């Protein structure tokens, strides 16, 4: 749309010229498919439940008054934790499957082009952007290079660690011969066959995940406000909107 046409349209409708030009230059691209978006929000809920219940499992509430048989509070907390853990683990498997069958943006979470010099140059650019050293970042259709790096090391590898250590502890309760013990019982051998060490590292992993989620939410909201493309709304609609 030419400048003169834009001006005529603005004069005829009473709309601010800048607003019309902004709308004419806004573009959108379909990035995240429905399974990816559904997994993202279900996964966010599962992580929230896991973090809250996991904290209270490691640091239980004060003793409840009355007979122990009258209370099942920790039982409910453990049940919520185990249920959310199954949702988290199954969701991770489903996400890996969709990385194979989905569009090319679906596998960005699991693959890093570490041997591509241009990728690392863009990572440095995004680091400068997050450090307020440059006025604006580059535009990316999928995850930006820094986000891909953070998602792979801060989420994916952490998730695998939490699933393995979590089911290893669950296998102890399910006892010998259970599928949890058969598949994940070997994990405890990596911690000197010490169950308490396993619990400690699993809890440290929880705090690592909490730190990642906090930074992830901050970066997404900051990018929505200061960046050149949409973030939060993209994970709702699937469309990445670019601003001039």
8-state DSSP, 153: I
1 and 89 co-located in one domain = no
4 and 97 co-located in one domain = no
Please state the pTM of the whole predicted model: 0.83
Range of the domain at 20: 1-28
What is the distance between the alpha carbons of residues 143 and 149, in angstroms, rounded to a whole number? Answer: 9
24 and 35 co-located in one domain = no
18 and 100 co-located in one domain = no
1 and 60 co-located in one domain = no
Instruction: Report pLDDT digits (tens) over 183-231.
Output: 999 999 999 888 999 999 999 999 999 999 999 999 999 988 888 788 8
Q: DSSP 3-state assignment of 72? A: coil
89 and 182 co-located in one domain = yes
14 and 68 co-located in one domain = no
The CATH number linked to 125 is: 1.20.950.20
Nearest alpha-carbon partner for 158 in 114, 215, 101, 116: 215
64 and 170 co-located in one domain = yes
Instruction: Report pLDDT digits (tens) over 106-120.
Output: 998 898 998 999 999
Instruction: Report pLDDT digits (tens) over 76-127.
Output: 999 999 999 999 999 999 999 999 999 988 998 898 998 999 999 999 999 9
| Number of independent structural domains in the chain | 2
Nearest alpha-carbon partner for 164 in 92, 76, 80, 56: 92
């Amino acid at each position: 749309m030419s400048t003169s046409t834009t001006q005529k349209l603005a004069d005829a409708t009473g709309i601010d010229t800048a607003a019309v030009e902004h709308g004419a230059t806004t573009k959108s691209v379909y990035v995240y498919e429905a399974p990816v978006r559904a997994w993202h929000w279900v996964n966010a809920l599962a992580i929230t439940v896991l973090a809250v219940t996991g904290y209270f499992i490691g640091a239980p509430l004060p003793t409840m008054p009355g007979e122990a048989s009258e209370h099942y509070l920790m039982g409910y907390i453990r049940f919520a934790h185990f249920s959310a853990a199954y949702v988290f683990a199954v969701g991770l498997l489903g996400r890996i499957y969709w990385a194979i069958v989905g569009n090319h943006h679906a596998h960005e979470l699991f693959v890093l082009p570490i041997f591509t010099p241009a990728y690392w140059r863009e990572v440095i650019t995004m680091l400068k952007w997050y450090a307020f050293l440059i006025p604006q970042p580059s535009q990316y259709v999928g995850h930006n290079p820094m986000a891909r790096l953070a998602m792979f090391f801060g989420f994916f590898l952490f998730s695998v660690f939490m699933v393995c250590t979590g089911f290893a502890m669950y296998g102890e309760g399910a006892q010998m011969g259970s599928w949890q013990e058969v598949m994940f019982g070997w994990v405890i051998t990596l911690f000197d066959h010490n169950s308490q060490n396993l619990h400690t590292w699993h809890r440290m992993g929880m705090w690592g995940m909490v730190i990642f989620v906090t930074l992830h939410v901050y970066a997404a909201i900051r990018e929505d406000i200061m960046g050149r493309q949409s973030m939060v709304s993209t994970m709702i609609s699937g469309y990445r909107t670019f601003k001039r």
